[in-house]
Structure 1
Amino acid sequence: MSITHEHVKRVAQLAQLEISADENETIRAQLDDIIGLIEQLQAVDTHGVEPMAHVLDLGQRLRPDIVTESNRREDFLAIAPQTEAGLFIVPKVIE
């Protein structure tokens, strides 16, 4: 597929960009190069290639999911300036 000057003008119009004739030619050439690269990538045979999230097949080292701190909710509520029904009361920010 080849990008024409009309294609570039239409895309510029949709993007609400004003481009000169010189810029039109530069952008057309760049878009042609991008389309060419996409065509090269699509030509590669990827059948039988398993999708992967990372180049190296490594597992993520995670720490054990265990509780290490006690529940101190009542302690924090006790020192709060205002509480109601187990919730912190804060000043209204937006009226």
Structure 2
Amino acid sequence: MKIEQQTVKKIAHLARLELTEQEEVKMVEDLSKILDWMDQLKELDTTEVEPLTHMSEEVNVFREDTPKNELTREQALKNAPKQDGEYFLVPKVIE
């Protein structure tokens, strides 16, 4: 597929990029190479290939997330700037 410099200018404008003339020429070459490569991929027969949902077969190796009460209410409120003994006190945000 052939990319023209006018197309690159339009894409750069939409992406809010300022490209010099040299950068536009280089971008035309690079985008053409990418699209040629995509055309090569389209030629492959992928009818027997299953779609991937993940790139690797690794499984989550983390521990189970089980809730625990490790802090008492007093310990949690100990360093709070403002509290009423039961809850944190914060400035009112909504009128």
TM-score (norm 1): 0.62
More strand, by proportion: 1
Label 1:61 to 1:12 Cα distance change in 2 as closer, same or farther (>3 A).
closer
Distance 1:71 1:23 in 2: 58
CA RMSD of aligned residues (A): 3.1
* Equivalent residue pairs, number: 90
Question: What is the DSSP-based 3-state SS (H/G/I as helix, E as strand, rest coil) of the residue aligned with 2:29?
Answer: helix
Percent identity for Structure 1 against Structure 2: 29
Contact 1:12 1:19 in 2 (8 A): no
Q: Deviations over 1:55-84 (max 9, x none)?
A: 3x3322232343454451244336645313
1:54-69 to 2 correspondences below 5 Å: 54-55=55-56, 57-69=57-69
Displacement of 1:17 in angstroms is 1.6
Gaps of 5+ in 2: none
Label 1:83 to 1:58 Cα distance change in 2 as closer, same or farther (>3 A).
same
Kindly report structure 1 stretches of 4+ aligned residues shifted beyond 4 Å. Answer: 78-81
Gaps of 5+ in 1: none
Distance 1:10 1:69 in 2: 58
2:86 equivalent in structure 1:
86
TM-score (norm 2): 0.62
1:48 equivalent in structure 2:
48
Contact 1:3 1:31 in 2 (8 A): yes
Label 1:49 to 1:73 Cα distance change in 2 as closer, same or farther (>3 A).
farther
Label 1:86 to 1:33 Cα distance change in 2 as closer, same or farther (>3 A).
same
